[in-house]
Structure 1
Amino acid sequence: MPVLELAAALILILLNGVFSLSELAVVSARKARLRVMAEQRRAGARAALALAEEPGRFLSTVQIGITLIGVLAGAFSGAALGQRAAELLQDFGLAQGLAQTIGYGLVIGAITYLSVVVGELVPKTLALRAPERIACMVARPTSAVSRAAGPVVWFLDASTRRIFRLFGIDARADEAVTADEIRAVVAEAETAGAIETDERHMIGGVLRLGDRTVRGVMTPRTDVTWLDLGDTEEAIRAALLATPHARLPVGEGGPDEIIGVVQLRDLLPDLLRGRPLDIRAHVRPAPVVPDRLGALDALAVLRKAEVPIGLVHDEYGHFDGVITPADILDAIAGAFRADLSDSDEAVRREDGSWLLSGWMPVDEMADQLRVPLPDRRDYETVAGLEPLPIRLKRKHHPRIQQL
């Protein structure tokens, strides 16, 4: 009867949709998210993760199902419904040849339309909306089908891997996640309202911090206030009263002769009571940090230090500056207003061009202006980009001028 044949065609199309839904859901599902769901004992999460770990077997299973459904839909439902449609048109007076052509054409067109829309587009669009949740729902039935068709699935998967090996291609997917991909995900989360703009900036700061050396985050020697034990007590008192810092390096005769660090709170009783200052008695050792050490490694050094301040030296042992937890926070969250100089790091002018300070970190400039930087470079600030207008193509980037 036509009703049974039509029902069979619709069922086959719906089954095709289920396989398409399963295919895109498992392929699109993030393994990290599936692992979290598995740890939370979400139903079907472990089965979905197992399918994602073996994409060859899973795709072979799905392809077997889709292929069989296509063959059955074309051979059984299409032929039967086409014949029924041709007979119906003949009843309306059309010639047999013309009726068969139009009848089969109408049936094939209708089945193709439903197969594309109901069997492909709708399921795949649905799978993209919630891939992990749908993957958990379809994982167990798909695993059962895979076990039932085990020999065929193994044969297809082995054939696929052999073809890959023949062309020297690794069939395993590259699961490495780059920093740019993380930034893209964070930007997407900000657009969706999942995180705030300030959160995105701080996450970007953490990623930049991982790529920086101590030289890129330290307070340079020219901006360091230090105490010289050879100065008079009046000069030392004046320096202590004028400094906004809680800790100061202490040297003997010059900045390359730093012997340690003094904390102002240790000197405060003598300052308030007007007693003579004994700076040397309050000097504490500070770790020496190479200027090419990674910023995160320097943070680990500061955590273990008696006083959280590091003396930065270059490869020749010369004093280059200091690094403190405040410098690390500055790299992540941005500088506080009290720490800023008279000029801002970057100013957007009315004509669309940018005015950049030479001391602006070059990676922050790259993030803000969306410009590429070489993987290996021997500079940390915008001042190292010379000549800047030549390196940045004007047709892709706004005009930039360095202070």
Structure 2
Amino acid sequence: MITEVLIVVVLIVVNGVLALSELAIVSARPARLKPLEGKSRGAAAALRLGENPGRFLSTVQIGITLVGVLSGAFSGATLGNRLAQFLASKGVDADWASTLGVGSVVVLITYVSLIVGELVPKQLALRNPEGLAIRMAPAMVVLSKVAAPVVWFLDRSGRLVLWLMGQREDNSNRVTEEEVHTILSEAHEGGVIETEERAMISGVMRFSDRSAKALMTPRRDVEMIDLEMTSAEAVAALRRIGRPRIPVQNRETGEVVGIIRLADAFVAVSKREALDVKALLQDVPVVSDRTDALDVLDILKKSDDSVALVYDEYGHFEGLITSGDVLEAITGAMDTGDDEEPAMITRDDGSMLVAGWMAADEFCDRLGLSRDLAGDYDTVAGLVLHQMRRLPGLGESFTVAGHRFEVIDLDGLRIDKVLVSAV
């Protein structure tokens, strides 16, 4: 009887090893295994098994099925009968002895199988999937080679059933943006990354989805000087504007023809020379308002002045992009250069006073709203226009996604301030 018990225990342990290997290799993250691929045979084997999950899962399932069949045979036919004979020898009715003997053994073996053969191994696999995958992968590779014919047949059969169900084969390991945000949240809650780091990573992800139009400082906020200004007029304008690089506009055509560097102007003035705007004019790259943000970043890197002019498809000047605009897009800057106008203020009653120029994607991320609320618009003002389908009047409001939006300030035809409160 001791031999039969030992056989059942070994089978349960083997089932636990197979269950542990299955969950560990499936749960292991390739990003953590790839750096170890050249140093560890186990890591390389785990990556190979993960690349072909159908064959691996078929191998494990064959082993678990065989273990289950053998465990059932030994527990019912051998240990159950022995216990039934023992109970009968103690005076228990033969029918009751058979029922109690087999039933008791089956219940006990099932309980031990669940604990030792399933639950505990899977808990261990979830706690350290990469480490256990590295240890168990070589043995699973050997097992898959031994059972190759059966595994091939089962793998093809499974693919056929999936094909009949309309599930076409797709081995690509895709990670969605929502999953990345979930991982960032878990890392933040676990103390792995700081709040500022999480906000910056989210800003980088938002940045890649933006266009030049969403990054630029719009034309109405760009201060320029005229190409035909006299020396005195140019000096006065430069003092008033006070920015390192200032666009220069042709007064007659309205076209922005380049920029003038404040440092170059200072050198000329310090030498008591007349300030010639045309002589100091510098060419800068021009981008379309629909250019992707990453392409804009590449253009700014190659530009000596880290400035680009934005034009629309009709050839009209739309705005200006600088390296500072890129930094603000990533870090979520709270103002546009005016310290008295933050992008968002949370009031005592929980409502939020939001500037119309605030980026719509940043606003939606902070409130956990869908970015589709803004449609093709890039700002909170655009979000309001998209939802109302018209230019709103002062005090008009609407409710969407559990929040109430009220226009509380208009600057001419521009939506300047919006009050947002949870419903």
> Normalising TM by the smaller chain, what interval?
over 0.9
Which of the numbers 257, 266, 272 marks the counterpart of 1:268? 266
Aligned partners of 2:187 and 2:193 also within 8 Å:
yes
The equivalent of 2:401 in structure 1 is 393
Aligned partners of 1:44 and 1:136 also within 8 Å:
yes
Q: Equivalents in 2 of 1:212, 1:161: separation in Å?
A: 40
Alpha-carbon deviation of 1:43? 3.3
Alpha-carbon deviation of 1:105? 1.6
Which of the numbers 148, 155, 158 marks the counterpart of 1:157? 155
SS at match of 1:374: helix
Q: Equivalents in 1 of 2:342, 2:286: separation in Å?
A: 31
Aligned partners of 1:284 and 1:307 also within 8 Å:
no
Deviations 1:221-260 (A, max 9, x none): 1111211133343332122123342111112216832211
The equivalent of 1:65 in structure 2 is 63
SS at match of 2:59: helix
1:112–1:271: structure 2 CA closer, same or farther, 3 Å change rule? same
Percent identity of equivalent pairs:
45
Which of the numbers 223, 226, 236 marks the counterpart of 1:238? 236
Which of the numbers 104, 111, 114 marks the counterpart of 1:113? 111
Q: What does 1:140-219 correspond to in 2, within 5 Å?
A: 140-219=138-217
**Worse-superposed segment, 249-258 or 297-306:** 249-258
The equivalent of 2:357 in structure 1 is 359
Aligned partners of 2:335 and 2:342 also within 8 Å:
no
Return the letter of the residue paired with 2:154: L
Structure 2 stretches lacking a partner, 5+ long: 389-396, 408-416, 418-423
Deviations 1:369-392 (A, max 9, x none): 111122993311010123476462
Aligned length: 398
Aligned partners of 1:85 and 1:104 also within 8 Å:
yes
Aligned partners of 2:257 and 2:283 also within 8 Å:
yes
Structure with higher strand content: 2
Alpha-carbon deviation of 1:341? 4.6
The equivalent of 2:12 in structure 1 is 13
Q: Equivalents in 2 of 1:327, 1:362: separation in Å?
A: 15
The equivalent of 2:127 in structure 1 is 129
* 1:382 corresponds to 2:380: yes
Q: Equivalents in 2 of 1:227, 1:361: separation in Å?
A: 28
The equivalent of 1:34 in structure 2 is 33
SS at match of 1:322: strand
SS at match of 1:225: coil
Alpha-carbon deviation of 1:338? 8.0
Q: Equivalents in 1 of 2:129, 2:210: separation in Å?
A: 36
SS at match of 2:182: helix
Alpha-carbon deviation of 1:355? 2.2
Q: Equivalents in 2 of 1:65, 1:375: separation in Å?
A: 51
Q: Equivalents in 2 of 1:34, 1:172: separation in Å?
A: 22
1:282–1:231: structure 2 CA closer, same or farther, 3 Å change rule? closer
Return the letter of the residue paired with 1:392: V
1:390–1:117: structure 2 CA closer, same or farther, 3 Å change rule? farther
Q: What does 1:232-381 correspond to in 2, within 5 Å?
A: 232-253=230-251, 256-335=254-333, 339-374=337-372, 377-381=375-379
The equivalent of 1:101 in structure 2 is 99
Q: What does 1:67-82 correspond to in 2, within 5 Å?
A: 67-82=65-80
Deviations 1:241-300 (A, max 9, x none): 233421111122168322111111111122234432122111110111111111111111
1:256–1:84: structure 2 CA closer, same or farther, 3 Å change rule? farther
* 1:224 corresponds to 2:212: no
Higher relative contact order (CA closer than 8 Å, sequence separation 6+): 1
SS at match of 1:286: coil
Aligned partners of 1:260 and 1:286 also within 8 Å:
yes
Alpha-carbon deviation of 1:340? 4.2
**Worse-superposed segment, 331-340 or 211-220:** 331-340
Aligned partners of 1:355 and 1:401 also within 8 Å:
no
Q: Equivalents in 2 of 1:15, 1:317: separation in Å?
A: 72
Q: Equivalents in 2 of 1:156, 1:226: separation in Å?
A: 72
**Worse-superposed segment, 333-342 or 320-329:** 333-342
- Cα RMSD, aligned residues only: 2.1
SS at match of 1:256: coil
Deviations 1:24-82 (A, max 9, x none): 1111122233222214x223111111111111111111011000000000001343221
TM-score, with structure 2 as normaliser: 0.88
Alpha-carbon deviation of 1:305? 1.9
Aligned partners of 1:287 and 1:305 also within 8 Å:
yes
Deviations 1:193-228 (A, max 9, x none): 221111111111111111101110111111112111
